[in-house]
Amino acid sequence: MAEKELLISPEGLKKLEAELEHLTTVKRREVAERIKTAREFGDISENSEYEDAKNEQAFIEGRIQTLEKMLRQARVVDAETQDPTMVHIGSHVTVKDLEENIEEEYVIVGATEADPMKNRISNESPVGKALIGAKVGDQVEVTAPVGKIRLEIVKIS
């Protein structure tokens, strides 16, 4: 089965690579040392330090596998090479909610970089999907849990 392509910004790629580097060079060594120290306490069947360290080791190894898979699937989308008149990954988009008459600015990012609390929305989200490919002046309709939302693209940068 083919792996799904993961769209990511150059900054997002650097973050993933940095996290993987930290986990493989620093955290692995730290948890291995904790396991070694905990073993020295004796009977591991009732050794909570050993259990905690083994659980952390399992978490770290799982995260390393996840990051490695994400990096294999990654396709870097550089905003500099995209049409500046259209919304794409990396775009800063100002939209106006036509019902509420409120303007919001979003940054369109790949799914791994999404952070709705910071207005970084995924290209796979309902709003992100609706905005991709739109131009200033275009109106899009988004089906959201609260109902249909009509947005007008005010600015793309």
| All domains of the chain in start order, with CATH | 6-76 (1.10.287.180), 79-156 (3.10.50.30)
For Cα atoms 109, 111, 116, give the angle at the middle one, nearest 5 degrees.
Answer: 70
Return the SS3 of 40: coil
CA nearest 125: which of 87, 71, 86?
Answer: 87
**Can you state the angle between helices 10-22 and 48-73, rounded to 10 degrees?**
150
Burial of 145 (0-12, 13-18, 19+ CB in 10 A): exposed
- Is the pLDDT reported for residue 38 higher than 90? no
Return the SS3 of 13: helix
Instruction: Report pLDDT digits (tens) over 97-112.
Output: 999 999 999 999 988 8
pLDDT bracket for residue 81 (50, 70, 90): confident
- Is the pLDDT reported for residue 17 higher than 80? yes
- Is the pLDDT reported for residue 144 higher than 90? no
